[in-house]
Amino acid sequence: MLRWVRQQLGFDPPHQSDTRTIYIANRFPQHGHYVPQKFADNRIISSKYTVWNFVPKNLFEQFRRVANFYFLIIFLVQLMIDTPTSPITSGLPLFFVITVTAIKQGYEDWLRHKADNEVNGAPVYVVRSGGLVKTRSKNIRVGDIVRVAKDETFPVDLVLLSSDRVDGSCHVTTASLDGETNLKTHVAVPETAVLQSVANLDKLVAVIECQQPEADLYRFVGRITISQQMEEIVRPLGPESLLLRGARLKNTKEIFGVAVYTGMETKMALNYKSKSQKRSAVEKSMNSFLIIYLIILLFEAILSTILKYAWQAEEKWDEPWYNEKTEHERNSSKILRFISDFLAFLVLYNFIIPISLYVTVEMQKFLGSFFIGWDLDLYHEETNQRAQVNTSDLNEELGQVEYVFTDKTGTLTENEMQFRECSINGIKYQEVNGKLTPEGFSEDSPDGNRHSLMKEEELFLKAVCLCHTVQINADQTDGADGPWHANGIASPLEYYASSPDEKALVEAASRVGVVFTGTSGDTMEVKSLGKPERYKLLHVLEFDPNRRRMSVIVESPSGEKLLFTKGAESSILPRSKSGEIDKTRIHVDEFALKGLRTLCVAYRRFTPEEYQEIGKRLREARTALQQREERLADVFNFIERDLELLGATGVEDKLQEKIQETIEALRLAGIKVWVLTGDKHETAVSVSLSCGHFHRTMNILELVQHKSDSTCAEQLRQLAKRIKEDHVIQHGLVVDGTSLSLALREHEKLFMEVCKNCSAVLCCRMAPLQKAKVVRLLKTSPEKPITLAIGDGANDVSMIQEAHVGIGIMGKEGRQAVRNSDYAIARFKFLSKLLFVHGHFYYIRIATLVQYFFYKNVCFITPQFLYQFFCLFSQQTLYDSVYLTLYNICFTSLPVLIYSLFEQHVHPHVLQSKPVLYRDISKNAHLGFKPFLYWTILGFFHAFVFFYGSYLLMGEDTSLLRNGQMFGNWTFGTLVFTVMVITVTMKMALETHFWTWINHFVTWGSIVFYFIFSLFYGGIIWPFLHTQDMYFVFVQLLSSGSAWFAIILIVVACLFLDVVKKVLYRHLQPTSTEKAQMEEDKGSVSSACDFAESRHRGEDNRQLLDPSSLPDSSYVH
């Protein structure tokens, strides 16, 4: 604990050195002054609270809210000074709100604890004292040798020591980490790979030196020093040796590995980016309204205090005969008396701030979020996935989106690659019925026959079959004839690959005659037209985003050393010195214009001397502990030069269904769509055109391939000028990653001006961090628009977390985006329903809920303020303290909560079919200053009618009972309170368009409950109450016919003007939404007539009542 405190204060940094030294099996040196390094334990902690800190930490967080802190102050004031109302009136609602919120947050944290305990308590096997010991995951220490079996998840970050295979390799899927669902191969160093038994591993004496923990999943630099027969062997360790926590072992019986990073220092834990708390626009409006109401409250309290002293300036009112002051009161300080009176008025009027607003909003968001998961229209049958909500705090933000930032691959497209075309030696080929046919030849042409593959074609296909990271399902073993049947047609081999492009290319090559049949140790086997060939794999030059290519160095059956390289045309063509470079470049551009993803393929032959030099350089770079990446990059660049170009490939990524309709609907709704992709310029533009993001009629502006700041600035100025000149035409902008970096560095304002005047923007060749930068740029622009980012891969996580609303697509690239998103859907097309229906409903509901809360509290407290003018500002309360306490908790809370869960002011189908209705609620239209002012003035107006209506009826000593008895102070207050409860409940009923039996039950039930409670409360003498002011008051009030008449009259007077205003506005100035409502009403009338006719025709009613036959059975609120 002390160490943790020291670390937090910065006195004890967790890792003083850049590297850590790990003694395998914790065999520390017995000699010298060895000080063991301190490492984290293997517990994963995702919870927020512990048993000890829950109460203080939760209370601290809750009292950071303005309203909660304010009510705490009021409660303390009531305890300290003599106030007109009991401390219970503030204390009980505060206690209720704090308790409900604490229970909700405590339950959520308990679920996190439960999940943590499940992970930390999982059984694992560790090699200790010459045997396998079963222990819990949390007990693993750095240096322990851990055994993991097939299909198990790695419990720590391990360096692979050995597997059940002779070469020490294993297959792993990292879908839960980086979203890649395909298999990756990891290998152990040869010296430890042979140690396949526990006994042998227990004798291993070795030391690992590696970097300190870091979040990058693909970076690991280390070396292992193995002591064997009095000599030390040093081997490099890279990402291929590291097995990450959270990844799963596949197609391998078991592996042994040594723990290098544990617990919260594992790469998985370091990638838990602490999500910054996103706050919705509604919540910000709510806080602004609270401050305005605090100002109203202070104004009322100060005014009342001043008027009290102005009134008491006259001696007859300062100390009337019936209320003489005590000696202490006469001698007390005037300043203290003034402060005390001010605080007393503050307490009297404090209910103008609605304390239960927060808890109602939280309940509404939490319960309302279930509707997204239950909506069958958002359910994807093929993958059996339904929408999921990770953050219920942003439901209403779905109704405010102005910009959508979307990834392309896997989001707009299916991420299902299909081989379409290739270019070999300057000739274009297509695959026709399993044959590679040159362009221009007919299907039946003998030239297309795969048995007569030319030398260039065969070499190209071999390059495709050897330069990849594809794996074959281990269950598929070669038979006597291998994967070939007698008729020469390949049986389908099941391939796994980290890249869907690679998989599509290897599968295409196998269909046309060159089949990759698997790897055995460091040997790769290829069958060319049935003839097996073995290539020895010497080196793999891994793909990285900076080089944008990958290579393999192999030894051919003839002993030749060959380099095969494939990658983006921008990284291959400049490094090629021979081959059909110009023709291939033209073909690559043609493929890109068709929307195909392109790769270029090249090779190089090495002389023995060249290969020796390369091997030496690679070894040096790979064993370096310092600047290993830079050294490797230099060596890779040295190797991948003077290439001979073989050709290029074109792979199609199919568009998802209803993409064009969805993008068009978003545009009609006033939402601008930006596509951010890593693809090349031509491919991205082609896909943008085919999915409807760019229109054929659009003027497409380009800001691409700029290398200097000045040219980029000049181009931006020209684009801005063109937009001003052609302001009638719609513009689309295409930007690439390098130009974007330059534009954002110095010319941010100009770039934003150009972007905002374009209907659609496409950013290509984007790095993940650049995507987030673009989102942040728009998010923080002066207009502060609401942004939404949607993507499916780990590379989209940063933009998903940056945007106001982040949506993950449950695609083929794993769960990283889904886990880091606020909402997750299976397909892009579901976005329209999510925004236009759910977003619309959530926003309307919560906007009404917030304003209604302020309205009903103005209605509640204003009569209390007006009453002071009639009681010499003596701080006499108008309502009984029980009514003060229960008004917000019981009498008026349920109707608004149910409204905020079930309200559908327009039918869901209408909202989805008319995206233009989304514009009616954009820019926080229902929570702006005008609607807020309307609700506040309405509250004051209703309060005046309640108070003065009741006063006119019974204020002038009017006898309203048959025996001539007068009504007293409490009866007057109860009449005002009764009228108020009925009016505010009826006002909610007027706002409701969609009535269910629950709405009816809570609306009329609340009024009935108030009457029953009041009769019960006033009809019995309660022994625990110190005063019995309300005894028989309510019964007496209801026994007067005049009182009943007054209640009806005042309620009608309050609501009549409201109804007239609604009718006039609806017919004279209807919004698009109100027009849709009127059309819907007409439609429902005609459908009701049709229904009546069908009944007369004797139609089977049971069919009509069957939920499956209802048009909207998928969406029942």
**φ/ψ of residue 161, rounded to 5:** -100, -45
Q: What proportions of the chain, in percent to the nearest 5, are helix, strand and coil?
A: 50, 20, 30
Computed over its alpha carbons, how large is the radius of gyration of the chain? 37
* Separation of alpha carbons 494 and 472, rounded Å: 6
* Spatial distance between the Cα atoms of 414 and 655, rounded to a whole number of angstroms: 6
- Assign residue 555 a region (left: φ > 0; alpha: ψ between -120 and 50; beta: otherwise): beta
Is residue 1111 within 8 A of residue 909, CB to CB? The reply is yes
- Which residues is 147 bridged to in the sheet? 125, 256
1117's enclosing H/E stretch is none
250 torsion bin: left (phi>0), alpha (psi -120 to 50), beta (else): beta
Residue 430 β-bridge partners: 421, 437
Matching residue, tokens 């490939």:
649
CA distances from 621 to 321, 550, 610, 919 (A): 101, 17, 17, 58
DSSP assigned state of 408: S
In the annotation, is 407 catalytic? yes
Cβ–Cβ < 8 Å for 669, 602? no
Which is it for strands 760-764 and 672-676: parallel, antiparallel or unpaired?
Answer: parallel
User: Cβ distance 1006 to 898 under 8 Å?
Assistant: no
Beta bridge partners of residue 157, listed in sequence order: 261
**Which position has the token pair 């020291």?**
6
Do residues 175 and 496 lie in contact, with contact meaning Cβ atoms separated by under 8 Å?
Answer: no
Please report which helix (H) or strand (E) contains residue 289, including its range.
helix 281-311
Distance of CA 638 to the CA centre of its chain: 43
Which letter does DSSP use for residue 692 in this model? T
Tell me if residue 613 falls in helix, strand or coil. helix
CB atoms within 10 A of CB 1045: 12
The set of residues, in sequence order, having a beta carbon less than 8 Å from that of 206 and lying 6+ positions away, is 24, 192, 224, 225, 226, 227
The full length of the chain comes to: 1117
Q: Quick one: CA dihedral 616, 621, 622, 626, positive or negative? A: positive
CA dihedral 709, 715, 716, 722 (to 10 degrees): 170
Tokens (6 digits) for 521: 């140790």
Identify the active-site residue in 167, 407, 736, 822. 407
Compute the distance between CA of residue 520 and CA of residue 537 in angstroms, rounded to an integer: 10
Tell me the β-bridge partners of 223: 209, 236
AA letter at 137: S
Residues labelled catalytic: 407
